[in-house]
Protein backbone atom coordinates (compact mmCIF):
# COMPACT_ATOMS: atom_id res chain seq x y z
CA UNK A 1 0.00 0.00 0.00
CA UNK A 2 1.55 3.30 -1.02
CA UNK A 3 0.69 6.85 -0.10
CA UNK A 4 -0.08 9.80 -2.36
CA UNK A 5 0.52 12.29 0.44
CA UNK A 6 3.08 14.88 -0.81
CA UNK A 7 4.47 15.06 2.71
CA UNK A 8 5.75 11.50 2.29
CA UNK A 9 7.77 12.52 -0.75
CA UNK A 10 9.14 15.69 0.83
CA UNK A 11 10.26 14.25 4.18
CA UNK A 12 13.02 11.59 3.99
CA UNK A 13 12.47 10.74 7.66
CA UNK A 14 8.99 9.55 6.68
CA UNK A 15 10.29 6.97 4.23
CA UNK A 16 12.20 3.71 4.34
CA UNK A 17 14.94 2.97 1.83
CA UNK A 18 15.59 -0.59 0.62
CA UNK A 19 18.34 -1.67 -1.78
CA UNK A 20 18.58 -4.94 -3.71
CA UNK A 21 21.42 -6.23 -5.87
CA UNK A 22 20.72 -8.04 -9.14
CA UNK A 23 22.77 -11.25 -9.29
CA UNK A 24 23.47 -13.35 -12.41
CA UNK A 25 20.58 -15.70 -11.55
CA UNK A 26 18.19 -12.70 -11.73
CA UNK A 27 19.33 -11.59 -15.20
CA UNK A 28 16.45 -11.03 -17.64
CA UNK A 29 13.72 -10.73 -14.98
CA UNK A 30 11.07 -8.03 -15.12
CA UNK A 31 11.54 -5.35 -12.48
CA UNK A 32 8.15 -5.99 -10.86
CA UNK A 33 8.71 -9.79 -10.74
CA UNK A 34 12.15 -9.26 -9.18
CA UNK A 35 10.64 -7.12 -6.41
CA UNK A 36 7.65 -9.43 -5.83
CA UNK A 37 10.06 -12.25 -4.94
CA UNK A 38 11.86 -10.06 -2.41
CA UNK A 39 9.08 -7.86 -1.03
CA UNK A 40 6.78 -10.80 -0.42
CA UNK A 41 4.71 -8.83 2.09
CA UNK A 42 3.41 -6.59 -0.70
CA UNK A 43 1.13 -7.46 -3.63
CA UNK A 44 2.27 -7.26 -7.25
CA UNK A 45 -0.23 -4.44 -7.80
CA UNK A 46 1.20 -2.33 -4.97
CA UNK A 47 4.74 -2.93 -6.24
CA UNK A 48 3.76 -1.88 -9.74
CA UNK A 49 2.24 1.29 -8.28
CA UNK A 50 5.48 2.03 -6.43
CA UNK A 51 7.34 1.75 -9.73
CA UNK A 52 4.81 3.91 -11.58
CA UNK A 53 4.94 6.52 -8.79
CA UNK A 54 8.70 6.85 -9.24
CA UNK A 55 9.55 5.14 -5.93
CA UNK A 56 11.85 2.59 -7.63
CA UNK A 57 15.17 3.41 -9.29
CA UNK A 58 17.75 1.26 -11.06
CA UNK A 59 21.46 2.06 -10.97
CA UNK A 60 23.19 0.33 -13.88
CA UNK A 61 26.93 0.16 -13.23
CA UNK A 62 28.30 3.69 -13.62
CA UNK A 63 25.09 5.11 -15.06
CA UNK A 64 22.94 7.56 -13.14
CA UNK A 65 19.87 6.22 -11.34
CA UNK A 66 16.92 5.96 -13.69
CA UNK A 67 13.19 5.49 -13.29
CA UNK A 68 11.61 2.51 -15.01
CA UNK A 69 8.35 0.76 -15.84
CA UNK A 70 7.22 -2.50 -14.19
CA UNK A 71 8.24 -4.45 -17.32
CA UNK A 72 11.81 -3.10 -17.34
CA UNK A 73 14.31 -5.94 -17.82
CA UNK A 74 17.14 -6.25 -15.31
CA UNK A 75 20.75 -7.10 -16.10
CA UNK A 76 23.50 -8.56 -13.95
CA UNK A 77 25.07 -5.88 -11.75
CA UNK A 78 22.04 -3.61 -11.49
CA UNK A 79 21.17 -2.13 -8.10
CA UNK A 80 17.49 -1.52 -7.38
CA UNK A 81 16.58 1.23 -4.90
CA UNK A 82 13.07 1.28 -3.42
CA UNK A 83 11.58 4.14 -1.39
CA UNK A 84 8.65 3.09 0.79
CA UNK A 85 6.62 6.11 1.95
CA UNK A 86 5.27 5.89 5.46
CA UNK A 87 1.62 6.98 5.73
CA UNK A 88 0.94 9.48 8.52
CA UNK A 89 -1.21 7.00 10.43
CA UNK A 90 1.71 4.54 10.44
CA UNK A 91 4.11 7.21 11.72
CA UNK A 92 1.60 8.10 14.46
CA UNK A 93 1.36 4.42 15.42
CA UNK A 94 5.13 4.06 15.66
CA UNK A 95 5.25 7.07 17.98
CA UNK A 96 2.51 5.68 20.23
CA UNK A 97 2.98 3.45 23.27
CA UNK A 98 1.71 0.44 21.27
CA UNK A 99 4.14 1.06 18.44
CA UNK A 100 7.15 1.87 20.58
CA UNK A 101 8.73 -1.58 20.26
CA UNK A 102 12.17 -1.30 18.65
CA UNK A 103 13.18 -4.95 18.48
CA UNK A 104 11.56 -8.31 19.02
CA UNK A 105 12.34 -10.76 21.84
CA UNK A 106 13.99 -13.81 20.26
CA UNK A 107 13.09 -17.25 21.63
CA UNK A 108 15.21 -19.32 19.23
CA UNK A 109 17.45 -18.73 16.24
CA UNK A 110 19.71 -20.71 13.94
CA UNK A 111 20.74 -20.36 10.30
CA UNK A 112 17.33 -21.51 9.04
CA UNK A 113 14.72 -20.28 11.53
CA UNK A 114 13.99 -17.56 14.05
CA UNK A 115 11.19 -17.73 16.64
CA UNK A 116 10.05 -14.44 18.15
CA UNK A 117 7.94 -13.70 21.20
CA UNK A 118 5.42 -11.46 19.47
CA UNK A 119 4.09 -8.65 21.64
CA UNK A 120 0.37 -7.84 21.50
CA UNK A 121 -0.77 -5.19 18.99
CA UNK A 122 2.21 -5.75 16.70
CA UNK A 123 1.08 -7.00 13.26
CA UNK A 124 2.90 -10.00 11.82
CA UNK A 125 3.25 -8.42 8.38
CA UNK A 126 2.56 -5.07 6.70
CA UNK A 127 -1.12 -4.60 5.94
CA UNK A 128 -3.94 -2.12 6.42
CA UNK A 129 -3.08 0.61 8.87
CA UNK A 130 0.31 -0.63 10.05
CA UNK A 131 2.88 -0.99 7.30
CA UNK A 132 6.26 -0.54 9.00
CA UNK A 133 6.05 -1.53 12.68
CA UNK A 134 5.49 -5.25 12.06
CA UNK A 135 7.28 -8.50 12.86
CA UNK A 136 8.46 -8.92 9.27
CA UNK A 137 9.75 -5.37 8.83
CA UNK A 138 11.50 -5.42 12.22
CA UNK A 139 13.19 -8.71 11.30
CA UNK A 140 14.13 -7.35 7.90
CA UNK A 141 15.84 -4.43 9.63
CA UNK A 142 17.58 -6.88 11.97
CA UNK A 143 19.07 -8.81 9.05
CA UNK A 144 19.81 -5.85 6.78
CA UNK A 145 23.25 -5.85 5.13
CA UNK A 146 24.36 -2.35 4.22
CA UNK A 147 27.61 -3.76 2.81
CA UNK A 148 25.85 -6.36 0.63
CA UNK A 149 22.07 -5.79 0.31
CA UNK A 150 21.65 -8.80 -1.95
CA UNK A 151 22.90 -11.11 0.83
CA UNK A 152 20.37 -9.92 3.42
CA UNK A 153 17.98 -12.48 4.90
CA UNK A 154 14.40 -12.14 3.63
CA UNK A 155 12.27 -13.46 6.54
CA UNK A 156 9.11 -15.42 5.67
CA UNK A 157 6.22 -16.20 8.02
CA UNK A 158 5.59 -19.90 8.70
CA UNK A 159 2.18 -19.19 10.29
CA UNK A 160 0.25 -16.20 11.64
CA UNK A 161 -1.11 -14.71 14.84
CA UNK A 162 -3.88 -12.12 15.13
CA UNK A 163 -2.83 -8.52 15.76
CA UNK A 164 -3.80 -8.62 19.44
CA UNK A 165 -2.55 -12.16 20.14
CA UNK A 166 0.90 -12.45 21.71
CA UNK A 167 3.39 -15.29 21.87
CA UNK A 168 5.40 -17.76 19.82
CA UNK A 169 5.71 -16.93 16.12
CA UNK A 170 7.99 -18.95 13.83
CA UNK A 171 9.69 -17.30 10.85
CA UNK A 172 11.92 -18.92 8.20
CA UNK A 173 15.19 -17.29 7.13
CA UNK A 174 15.53 -19.16 3.85
CA UNK A 175 13.28 -20.73 1.20
CA UNK A 176 13.80 -24.46 1.79
CA UNK A 177 13.08 -24.21 5.52
CA UNK A 178 10.01 -22.12 4.75
CA UNK A 179 8.65 -24.68 2.29
CA UNK A 180 9.19 -27.57 4.70
CA UNK A 181 7.65 -25.85 7.72
CA UNK A 182 4.71 -24.57 5.66
CA UNK A 183 4.05 -28.15 4.58
CA UNK A 184 4.16 -29.27 8.23
CA UNK A 185 1.53 -26.67 9.12
CA UNK A 186 -0.56 -27.68 6.11
CA UNK A 187 -0.52 -31.27 7.40
CA UNK A 188 -1.23 -30.04 10.98
CA UNK A 189 1.89 -31.70 12.37
CA UNK A 190 3.11 -28.98 14.77
CA UNK A 191 1.51 -29.02 18.23
CA UNK A 192 0.16 -25.60 19.21
CA UNK A 193 -0.84 -24.64 22.74
CA UNK A 194 -2.42 -21.33 23.77
CA UNK A 195 -3.28 -19.68 27.08
CA UNK A 196 -6.58 -17.81 27.30
CA UNK A 197 -8.41 -15.82 29.97
CA UNK A 198 -12.18 -16.17 29.66
CA UNK A 199 -15.29 -14.75 31.26
CA UNK A 200 -16.81 -17.16 33.75
CA UNK A 201 -15.56 -20.50 34.99
CA UNK A 202 -16.41 -23.69 33.06
CA UNK A 203 -18.21 -26.32 35.13
CA UNK A 204 -15.98 -29.10 33.87
CA UNK A 205 -12.22 -29.22 34.33
CA UNK A 206 -11.58 -29.90 30.64
CA UNK A 207 -13.37 -30.58 27.41
CA UNK A 208 -13.39 -30.79 23.63
CA UNK A 209 -15.27 -28.31 21.44
CA UNK A 210 -16.23 -29.91 18.12
CA UNK A 211 -18.19 -27.29 16.18
CA UNK A 212 -17.84 -26.52 12.45
CA UNK A 213 -16.93 -22.95 11.55
CA UNK A 214 -17.80 -20.74 8.61
CA UNK A 215 -18.78 -17.15 7.78
CA UNK A 216 -20.86 -15.69 10.61
CA UNK A 217 -24.53 -14.99 9.97
CA UNK A 218 -26.15 -11.75 11.08
CA UNK A 219 -22.92 -9.94 11.97
CA UNK A 220 -21.69 -6.62 10.56
CA UNK A 221 -17.96 -7.34 10.80
CA UNK A 222 -17.05 -8.95 7.49
CA UNK A 223 -14.22 -11.09 8.90
CA UNK A 224 -16.38 -12.58 11.66
CA UNK A 225 -16.72 -16.36 11.84
CA UNK A 226 -19.42 -18.40 13.46
CA UNK A 227 -20.65 -21.92 14.13
CA UNK A 228 -22.12 -23.20 10.86
CA UNK A 229 -23.58 -26.71 10.79
CA UNK A 230 -24.64 -26.25 7.16
CA UNK A 231 -21.45 -25.21 5.34
CA UNK A 232 -18.89 -25.00 8.14
CA UNK A 233 -15.46 -26.65 8.13
CA UNK A 234 -14.64 -29.14 10.86
CA UNK A 235 -12.99 -27.46 13.84
CA UNK A 236 -11.84 -29.02 17.12
CA UNK A 237 -10.45 -27.27 20.20
CA UNK A 238 -9.35 -28.90 23.45
CA UNK A 239 -9.41 -26.85 26.65
CA UNK A 240 -8.38 -27.32 30.26
CA UNK A 241 -8.85 -25.06 33.28
CA UNK A 242 -5.51 -24.04 34.79
CA UNK A 243 -6.77 -21.60 37.44
CA UNK A 244 -9.77 -19.52 38.54
CA UNK A 245 -9.65 -15.86 39.56
CA UNK A 246 -12.71 -13.90 40.70
CA UNK A 247 -15.19 -15.05 38.06
CA UNK A 248 -12.60 -15.58 35.33
CA UNK A 249 -10.61 -18.64 34.29
CA UNK A 250 -7.20 -19.21 32.75
CA UNK A 251 -7.45 -22.00 30.17
CA UNK A 252 -4.88 -24.12 28.36
CA UNK A 253 -5.99 -24.49 24.74
CA UNK A 254 -4.94 -27.15 22.26
CA UNK A 255 -5.78 -26.76 18.57
CA UNK A 256 -6.58 -29.93 16.65
CA UNK A 257 -7.49 -27.88 13.58
CA UNK A 258 -6.46 -24.38 12.56
CA UNK A 259 -9.50 -22.40 11.41
CA UNK A 260 -9.64 -18.61 11.29
CA UNK A 261 -10.58 -17.21 14.74
CA UNK A 262 -11.19 -20.80 15.91
CA UNK A 263 -10.33 -20.35 19.58
CA UNK A 264 -12.26 -17.11 19.90
CA UNK A 265 -15.41 -18.42 18.22
CA UNK A 266 -15.37 -21.79 20.03
CA UNK A 267 -14.94 -20.26 23.49
CA UNK A 268 -17.71 -17.75 22.84
CA UNK A 269 -19.93 -20.60 21.59
CA UNK A 270 -19.68 -22.43 24.93
CA UNK A 271 -20.45 -19.24 26.86
CA UNK A 272 -16.91 -18.27 27.85
CA UNK A 273 -15.66 -15.56 25.47
CA UNK A 274 -12.15 -14.21 25.75
CA UNK A 275 -11.67 -11.20 27.99
CA UNK A 276 -11.10 -8.17 25.75
CA UNK A 277 -12.53 -9.76 22.60
CA UNK A 278 -14.13 -6.95 20.60
CA UNK A 279 -15.84 -9.16 18.01
CA UNK A 280 -17.02 -12.24 19.89
CA UNK A 281 -17.46 -10.78 23.37
CA UNK A 282 -21.13 -10.06 22.87
CA UNK A 283 -21.15 -6.66 21.13
CA UNK A 284 -19.43 -6.38 17.76
CA UNK A 285 -20.06 -2.60 17.80
CA UNK A 286 -17.05 -2.47 20.11
CA UNK A 287 -14.85 -3.68 17.25
CA UNK A 288 -16.38 -1.19 14.82
CA UNK A 289 -15.68 1.71 17.20
CA UNK A 290 -12.19 0.32 17.91
CA UNK A 291 -11.42 0.14 14.18
CA UNK A 292 -12.61 3.73 13.78
CA UNK A 293 -10.52 4.87 16.77
CA UNK A 294 -13.71 5.83 18.62
CA UNK A 295 -13.71 3.57 21.70
CA UNK A 296 -15.05 5.45 24.70
CA UNK A 297 -13.89 5.18 28.29
CA UNK A 298 -17.06 3.18 28.98
CA UNK A 299 -16.19 0.81 26.13
CA UNK A 300 -12.70 0.27 27.51
CA UNK A 301 -14.12 -0.39 30.97
CA UNK A 302 -16.46 -3.03 29.51
CA UNK A 303 -13.59 -4.76 27.70
CA UNK A 304 -11.49 -4.97 30.91
CA UNK A 305 -8.35 -5.39 28.80
CA UNK A 306 -7.24 -3.29 25.81
CA UNK A 307 -6.57 -6.49 23.82
CA UNK A 308 -7.97 -10.00 23.64
CA UNK A 309 -6.56 -12.27 26.35
CA UNK A 310 -5.03 -14.89 24.05
CA UNK A 311 -1.38 -15.97 24.09
CA UNK A 312 0.45 -18.49 21.88
CA UNK A 313 2.25 -20.29 24.69
CA UNK A 314 3.92 -23.30 23.10
CA UNK A 315 4.82 -24.61 19.65
CA UNK A 316 6.38 -28.04 19.14
CA UNK A 317 7.55 -29.42 15.81
CA UNK A 318 10.39 -31.29 14.13
CA UNK A 319 13.15 -29.00 12.90
CA UNK A 320 12.72 -28.92 9.10
CA UNK A 321 16.46 -29.12 8.38
CA UNK A 322 18.04 -31.09 11.24
CA UNK A 323 15.16 -33.41 12.18
CA UNK A 324 15.65 -32.61 15.88
CA UNK A 325 12.68 -31.85 18.17
CA UNK A 326 12.05 -28.12 18.46
CA UNK A 327 10.02 -26.87 21.43
CA UNK A 328 9.35 -23.14 21.63
CA UNK A 329 7.77 -21.68 24.78
CA UNK A 330 6.66 -18.17 25.72
CA UNK A 331 5.46 -17.57 29.30
CA UNK A 332 2.21 -15.77 30.09
CA UNK A 333 2.90 -12.06 29.39
CA UNK A 334 2.79 -9.50 32.16
CA UNK A 335 -0.43 -7.76 31.06
CA UNK A 336 -2.40 -11.01 31.31
CA UNK A 337 -0.66 -12.10 34.52
CA UNK A 338 -1.44 -8.70 36.09
CA UNK A 339 -5.10 -9.07 35.15
CA UNK A 340 -5.29 -12.40 36.97
CA UNK A 341 -3.44 -11.07 40.02
CA UNK A 342 -5.85 -8.15 40.30
CA UNK A 343 -8.82 -10.53 40.27
CA UNK A 344 -7.26 -12.77 42.91
CA UNK A 345 -6.61 -9.79 45.17
CA UNK A 346 -10.15 -8.52 44.68
CA UNK A 347 -11.87 -11.85 45.32
> Which positions are catalytic?
162
Tell the burial category of 46 from Cβ atoms under 10 Å away from its Cβ (0-12, 13-18, 19+): middle
**CA–CA distance, 155 with 167 (Å, rounded to integer):** 18
The answer to whether the beta carbons of residues 113 and 170 sit under 8 Å apart is yes
The answer to whether the beta carbons of residues 315 and 170 sit under 8 Å apart is yes
CA angle 181, 185, 189 (to 5 degrees): 100
From the centroid of its chain, how far is CA 180?
20
Smallest CA-to-CA distance from 53 within 128, 126, 127, 2 is with 2
Q: 11 Cβ partners below 8 Å, 6+ apart? A: none
Amino acid sequence: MSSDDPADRDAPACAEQITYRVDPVDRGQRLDSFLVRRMHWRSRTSIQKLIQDGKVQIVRRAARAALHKPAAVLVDGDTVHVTLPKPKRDIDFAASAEGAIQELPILFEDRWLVAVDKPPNVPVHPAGRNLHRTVITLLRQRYARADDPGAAVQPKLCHRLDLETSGVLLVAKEDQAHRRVSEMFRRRLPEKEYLAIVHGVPREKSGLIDLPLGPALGMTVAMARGVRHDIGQKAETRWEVISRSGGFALLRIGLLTGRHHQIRVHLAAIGHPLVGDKIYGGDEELFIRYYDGALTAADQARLLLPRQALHAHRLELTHPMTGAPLVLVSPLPEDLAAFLRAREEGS
